[in-house]
Structure 1
């Protein structure tokens, strides 16, 4: 036995050796991690930290975008157009994301939106704008025609309605608004002129200025619309009264109608000693004025009224 060979004692445990990796280095019994492996471990730790922060940020930001009281709103959309329509959701920059397409008279439900989301409806064939709606809390029904149901299947009740131009000096254009929202001219009315048309309930008509195109009144026809003027609906035509307007003064007078807001509308100039007739309604008010603007008399129409004049009603 060599002098340098140690003797093994029975009470001394033999050392236990464990394999180490090929890249591991042991110095003085301590494992030393190589520099490239150390960088890898740091990178893995960094990735884990970044992912954790991303998850935490997501959990924090969602409540900021939508309050704790917000709930997704279930929206039902009905297409009452004759053409198919496309449904979009618009963001804050007015960018539109396509959601669905509906055929004529189609209905789709179960569309979920956050409150205050903006829904845009466009004609699928032309891309033309039809409707824009902001979603409110609670179940929502969105109809392309705003609830008027101006469809051939739903608007079948026939009726007649009269339109009259109450403007003092300008002509007005009477137009029917078709199912695509396009005005179609029906007639041009001179001041005081009246026209009666046969139509159907829920159709839409507008009275607009002949030259500037400004809409004076828009009417959705009901079963008892009666007479509609440039300032709004008037009494039913069945209650109309025919009244004589006689100027018994020595000078010409202006004859004006007062609407519900007290605004005067010129009817006509009546020469001295002349008589004209008009169709009017109970409780309507009229004014006689001199050429210099002074009020001569104001008259209120009653069921028994058959003639009004500057001297008396």
Structure 2
């Protein structure tokens, strides 16, 4: 396991400015969440694996938005590193008001004959990290009587036969919905966002291309801002589930009621279902 530098001590902040911690914060949706939360007046704790990208992202956000930014380099599949992030989330001296569990990656390989270690790592990042950090946040936030948790799921979590990634996102959806119910009346809320296809590095590296000019492509593919702004609005409103755009809410509703065998057959015959053959790197 590659050694990661210890995180710097948390910075002192004005008592009136909230703090948000974002995992997977240097690319794709994570970078979008960090920028939008900074624009909305949050100081930040950025978590990702790549120190250079963390530092560059932090410098850019400090300059653009005038907020204070900590960086915490951590591979969330490493249990010791995850424990350090959980400790920061739960800090009573430097409270985290908003937690965004965004870090994730996909595998272009099947579950039955893929590399087991790759699937174990995906489970650790997409499921176990969400479990541990959500638990750390709820303990600290309920003690204070306020806080927000946003877990990034996916419409893929509604799709049987969508591979281990879909199974992992289904876990995130159900865990967050359960957490939302348990937190009712506590002053703390949990929201799961279920986006469809989003134009990020994630899909580019997985072999799914969003550059088509067809009317269908323009309707199906979402921009990062579509997802980030809608889900943060839903988060602050205390809604348990956020599905950005009416077209994807309609798709999610259809997936909920359609026979699961039909959904599975359709998904596995599509280009996205056929693409899972080789592992790819994390965002």
Larger radius of gyration: 1
Q: Which bracket does the TM-score occupy, shorter chain normalised?
A: under 0.3
Compare the two structures and name the one with the higher strand fraction. 1
TM-score (norm 1): 0.22
TM-score (norm 2): 0.23
Q: Which has the higher contact order (CA 8 A, sep 6+)?
A: 2
Compare the two structures and name the one with the higher helix fraction. 2
